[in-house]
Chains A and B, each alone.
Chain A
């Protein structure tokens, strides 16, 4: 009798507190889920549609680039950087060239620097096109994605004219470019910056003030400026949270200080702000390209590399007819030109944040140690915090707006 009362009392107490039995579901999102656009695994603990917590797994496409780089001469490492953030390979290539040039103290002619700026800004546009249009796909708008992807192909046509490749570009060389740009490359760039704004304006019009899109993205996956800084956010994701840090301005490289452009900044750090910041950056990139093309015209024509014979390969016709050129060619290709002893950290503004190269040289033909500061590897760890408490569909949208690229994440 006594026991029964206790039992009833216990049950009643539970009922008053109002704790129905909760059953959590474990959902395995990825590694190859179509909604994640890359090899990401997130094991989600879900209460119905709501995410309670999540556990990330990374490293599915780890390719040991840092180890390989310790066994390669400097010029062979460029192809490794291609495969980091493969949506904007040219920025990685240029960042790497500039790191080596910094180590070797090579002065780059202004014209080459401006040409690099054109390349990097085109790559930035290509990167942001993917991120923003895929965000559209994740919220249910496939048409815009297919429409603007044609424009990305046009950017790749320009890269193809310059270096022969489209995606993993290996564009340029340490010291400049391997050859002068063909006239067609300039024509295509002019054509692109003339025709692209119309297309992008239309795409922007489809999403930026679209009620469905706004409802899906405003307040979703938000992060405060303070947390973003603590999590090491850089690039558009940090700027969306309201911090105006841009490597191009703070530690300028490749003559970015010669250009006039704005840094779009958001306020709430949510998915919509990230979308708008990327959007704004595309317009600024177009401005920069326009200025750069004009500046290239004012510089001495035909200059496409630095005057550094022990680093820059001589023209092929000279190699066949000139002893000195042949010797230099041989020494460079065989990696017999030793680098000075030193340590360099060089950062560029990549498509999704500060892409840094920490290069330790012991004076040999290969780096002693090379570390890539990969922006999305650092900020992706904030993802569980950003999605906890949100719906599964919001988590997908958040991931896509963060512009996490699997190749860069896993190195």
Chain B
């Protein structure tokens, strides 16, 4: 099996997309790239098509919420190149009003993963064939994984962290 270094992946991405690659870091051996959300599909397609990369397996899509950030909602793709056995994390951040393009035309598996992300974070995937709630009930009016929603009834007085020395 030919060896593909994380640096090579990053260089290729930077060469192709330049300033749209906002930042990158390597943690615990996995390269993590943050990119402009408008180019998510272009980047995914490039990663799929490039002969020296071939990131063709979509391991996972999930959302994340940083309420204090100017772009609070993140979509995180985990990709895997079976040919070179390298994993890659791609992050795209958006504001609450923005939407992000769907990856369903590249990977059939993106369908439910994007629905799940929408269901919990309210992130709109434009062009998705069937963007509706999947795990929560349809009548739910909120997106429960957003940080402003507490896990338990906030009026309870017996579960405050400071009672436990935290």
Contacts and interface: CB of A to CB of B under 8 A. Distances in A.
B76 A62 contact: no
B76 to A, nearest CB: 7
A381 B135 CA distance: 13
Contact of B27 (A58, A229, A343, A379): A343
A329 to B, nearest CB: 14
A230 B109 contact: yes
Given A59-B136, A358-B78, A373-B78, A381 B109 contact: yes
Interface of A: 58-59, 62, 64, 66-68, 70-71, 102-103, 227, 229-232, 243, 245, 250-251, 334-336, 342-345, 347, 354, 356, 358, 360, 365, 369, 371, 373, 377-382, 410-411
A382 B78 contact: no
A356 B166 contact: no
19 contacts: A62-B135, A67-B145, A227-B108, A229-B57, A232-B57, A232-B107, A250-B82, A251-B85, A334-B164, A342-B27, A342-B28, A344-B27, A345-B89, A356-B78, A373-B78, A377-B116, A378-B60, A378-B113, A410-B135
Interface in B53-101: 56-60, 62, 64-65, 76, 78, 82, 85, 87, 89
A99 to B, nearest CB: 10
A377 B112 contact: yes
B59 A356 contact: yes
Contacts of A371: 60, 62, 76
A363 to B, nearest CB: 14
Interface string B25-58: 0011010100000000000000000000000111
Nearest to A354: B59
Contacts of A360: 64
B89 to A, nearest CB: 7
Contact of A245 (B32, B82, B87, B113): B82
B109 A231 contact: yes
Given A343-B28, A358-B60, 5 more contacts: A66-B145, A232-B108, A342-B27, A343-B89, A371-B60
B135 A373 contact: no
Contacts of A373: 59-60, 78
Contacts of A231: 108-109
B78 A345 contact: yes
B162 to A, nearest CB: 12
A371 B144 CA distance: 14
Given A230-B109, A251-B87, A67 B27 contact: no
A261 B5 CA distance: 28
Contacts of B116: 377
Ranked 8 nearest A-B pairs via Cβ:
A232-B109, A59-B135, A371-B62, A230-B108, A62-B135, A373-B60, A381-B112, A71-B151
B111 interface: yes
